[in-house]
Amino acid sequence: MTDRSNPVVGRIRDQAMGVYERIRQKAKPQMKLPIRSLANVKYRPQAGYFQLSGRNKVRTMTVGTVKTFAQSLKMMAMSQDLIRTGRHSTKREAYYQAYNWGDAAFAAQEESDTVMDDVEAMLGAHREAMHFRADEHGGEVAGELIVIDRDRKSGRRLEIDCARFGSGAYSVPTVVEELGFRTAAKFILAIETKGMFERLVEEDFYSRHHCILVSMGGVPSRACRRFIRRLADDRGIPVYVFTDGDPYGYFNIYRTLKVGSGNAAHLNEFFCVPQARYLGVTPDDIVEYKLPTHPLKEVDRKRAMDAMRNDPFIQHHKPWRAAMERLLKMGVRVEQQALAKHGLEYVASEYLPRKLKAIDKFLP
Amino acid sequence: MTDRSNPVVGRIRDQAMGVYERIRQKAKPQMKLPIRSLANVKYRPQAGYFQLSGRNKVRTMTVGTVKTFAQSLKMMAMSQDLIRTGRHSTKREAYYQAYNWGDAAFAAQEESDTVMDDVEAMLGAHREAMHFRADEHGGEVAGELIVIDRDRKSGRRLEIDCARFGSGAYSVPTVVEELGFRTAAKFILAIETKGMFERLVEEDFYSRHHCILVSMGGVPSRACRRFIRRLADDRGIPVYVFTDGDPYGYFNIYRTLKVGSGNAAHLNEFFCVPQARYLGVTPDDIVEYKLPTHPLKEVDRKRAMDAMRNDPFIQHHKPWRAAMERLLKMGVRVEQQALAKHGLEYVASEYLPRKLKAIDKFLP
């Protein structure tokens, strides 16, 4: 991609030109950026994610702000360089590259991370589009999907067949912006644990049910959410989510996948999966499938109460409030692997097929 | 694999026949198993790993041990079933399957994990060979390697080309016992962070240097260590390790990869990589490459002092003691991504090539 056609490069130039023009006019240079705090966040049911309410702050260059001001401009210049050379930099590498910025060098990585977040919000672009990435796993994939990427050396198109990895899987990279997809799969199944993911691979679930399995490995990383989102949007396929039946599975994993997280509201537009629906394990399943449970821990109760009091997503969705109240009344939690009580293959041969016949009963 | 030809099934039968014969002779049934504690562990420099010293305990069936005794036998029966059906069970699934064992059911997963460890030691086989697995990541791979696996449905041979994943990678499964390998690579480079792994993929390092990159993602899991070990043994290729320059990178990551861990001594034979050598980042590199550092934290110092006092591996290797003393004297630690100070491509174009010209200087 030439940098002229890249929208992020365009916005970087606009910001830089704004600063330049103010200087030419002998006025103090300014940058405008949205306020990134929970007080400036709303849950938008139509859009399906947490959104900024639109309040901005203006950062004017003064003696007190000159260092941050310089760092923001240098960070944008670094991003432009990365896009130009087709490279990506981890947040940590960005911090070390800034060692050479003289007086504008960062004292610690937290400082450079904050400036990166500011620039993200300022440009209205997520850091992956600016060619920055975190040091995180992106999840694993197996199933009826061809991922289209490019060979780094030759630039040749690569087709990666996620149904041809045997007992292994495709590991999602931390930046997925330029991946393409080809699939005839009927749905994506996002799974909490690698153990359950490998169970379903072993049971040949994806070819029996024509789907794509994604192992999130706990709370899904940005890369994992972005991958599912781009794939689901691009191919118009539904996303079903399969986690443990406990407040952590419901609010930390499912809710983060579906609507994003409160403290990164300027990014949720890109990193949420509004089309996600919750398949299980629900409190009703505990009774219906006679599943072994464990008592709710104090931390589970606290998490549930917090969510019911403060989480706009739960407050908006009655079925979730009802499910949560039921679980609290039962006083238990259930793990997805509890289905193994009925035999290892039960989850693939009975539980999921029965669930998939009543998609309208999935929690929102 | 038919179960008759499987060595684990053979050993399960031997154990079961032993118990059966004792009962026929109207004697109390017995099982013999090695003592699994640090007091029964030695570092064997020739073999290259921590080993059990050979002391055994005999578990005789009495009123007090009858439940554990029954659980051990049932656990072996479960393993035999898994091998027979070609399935694998996570430790958690094993716990839930045991819900149906009546009086022999486990009260908690810790109990079933302990019995599994006992059976492992008793059979002299690691749990993966018994078709049990943990819920853990196995690391990621990119480079000049073909992994040979089987299609679950058709049984057909699959060739997975780890040089054709673009920006992604091959995700190693938790059980790697039946994988095959084809490669002309000159070495394996095991890397601490995914960030550095993706850096080297992006710099096209593996095709320039004909190697295989493995991202360990911190302390390598059993699956990751076993994968590297089997690959290195099978193809006779050396293993170089690239971590942060701090006590955690040296002792928790590198030492665990190379010699295994103290509390799983009955398994180190399978889960260590004796051919591993430490490439960097060494304390000498901090000076030679003028790298930015951070002060050692109290936890780093404590870890280093503990290792020098108690770790037989460090005590055996003078160069490691010298390196550790130097780092403590300098009072700093260094991250592998600090090399980015000299530019993103520096690690691939300068640091690693220079290091690879002096392999004899690698730490043991």
**Looking at the annotation, which residues of A are catalytic?**
96
Which secondary-structure segment (H or E) carries A9? helix A7-24
Q: How many CB atoms lie within 10 A of CB A35?
A: 16
Determine the distance in angstroms separating the CA of B47 from the nearest CA of chain A, rounded to an integer: 30
Q: Rg for chain B (alpha carbons), in Å?
A: 23
Query: Is it the case that residue A244 has pLDDT exceeding 90?
Result: yes
Residue ranges of chain B whose pLDDT lies below 70:
1-4, 36-41, 48, 50, 262-266
Mean pLDDT of chain A: 91
A1 — pLDDT class (breaks 50, 70, 90): very low
Note the pLDDT of residue B136.
87
Q: What residues of B are annotated to the active site? A: 96
Average pLDDT over residues A73-99: 94
Residue among A278, A219, A95 nearest B337 (CA):
A95
CB contact under 8 A, B173 and A167: yes
Given a cut of 80, is residue A326 above it in pLDDT?
yes
Q: How far is CA B210 from CA A59, B23, B186, B206, B234, in A?
A: 50, 59, 6, 5, 17
Distance CA B169, CA B163 (A): 9
Å from A21 to nearest chain B CA?
31
Q: Which residues contact B68 (CB under 8 A, 6 or more apart)?
A: B59, B115, B118
pLDDT tens string B200-257 = 999 999 999 999 999 999 999 999 999 999 999 999 999 999 999 999 999 999 999 9
Q: Which of A135, A138, A168 sits opposite B147 (nearest CB)?
A: A168
Quote the CA–CA distance of A70 and A88 in Å, as a whole number.
Answer: 22
**A171, A175, A193, A291: which to substitute to probe chain B, counting the most B Cβ within 10 Å?**
A171
Quote the pTM value: 0.92
Question: What is residue A189's predicted lDDT score, i.e. its pLDDT?
Answer: 98
Best probe of the B interface among A95, A145, A152, A192, by most B CBs < 10 A, is A152
Contacts of A227 in chain B (CB under 8 A): none
pLDDT at site A327: 95
Give pLDDT, residue A213: 98
Give the residue on B whose Cα is nearest the Cα of A155: B166
Which residues on A lie below 8 Å from B340 (Cβ)? 89, 92-94, 96-97
Count Cβ atoms within 10 A of the Cβ of residue B295 and give its class: 0-12 exposed, 13-18 middle, 19 or more buried: exposed
Token pair of A54 as six digits: 């639109």
Number of Cα atoms under 13 Å in the Cβ half of residue A173: 28
* Nearest chain B CA: its distance from A209 CA (Å): 13
User: pLDDT tens across A156-175, in order?
Assistant: 999 999 999 999 999 999 99
Residues of A in contact with B162 (CB under 8 A): none
The residue among A206, A168, A52 whose CA lies nearest residue A117 is A52
| Contact between chains at B194 and A136 (C-beta distance less than 8 A) | yes
